[in-house]
Structure 1
Amino acid sequence: MTKRLTRKEQFDRSKINMHDLRQVRCWTHVLGVSREQLRKAVEKVGDSAVTVRKELGIPEE
């Protein structure tokens, strides 16, 4: 089976990859925070989406 080039790849929603602009845009939108707020939270607690949510005071979905 071949991969479709037009299909966007899904990313691991349990981690926040600050080096992937598409993910950063998605996470800032979902969490309702700025890129800088997201960056600081990831720097402080790591890239786990659960711990970043806790750091930002945002309940899990």
Structure 2
Amino acid sequence: MAQDRTIKAKASRLAPGTQTYSVDYFAKKHGISPIDARRLIKQHGNDRDAADKAANRLKG
């Protein structure tokens, strides 16, 4: 039987912020606190563009 690769593909598409380093990276990238970064990532989920725009509004 062929190997089911959909399980691995779904696992590789984790939402930003599910790992500690991505929250730290996002916070450093936008010059905001890790607490604010975690909140924005949680609020916008997989929509990285929306999270980036929200971080820029928060910063500016």
Q: TM-score, normalised by structure 1?
A: 0.52
Shift of 1:52: 0.4
Structure 1 or 2: more helix by fraction:
2
Tell me the equivalent position of 1:22: 21
| Length, aligned pairs only | 44
Tell me the equivalent position of 2:37: 38
Bigger Rg, structure 1 or 2: 2
**1:53 counterpart SS class:** helix
Q: Which runs of 5+ in 2 are unaligned?
A: 1-13
Q: TM-score, normalised by structure 2?
A: 0.53
**2:18 counterpart SS class:** coil
What is the percentage of aligned positions where both structures have the same residue? 14
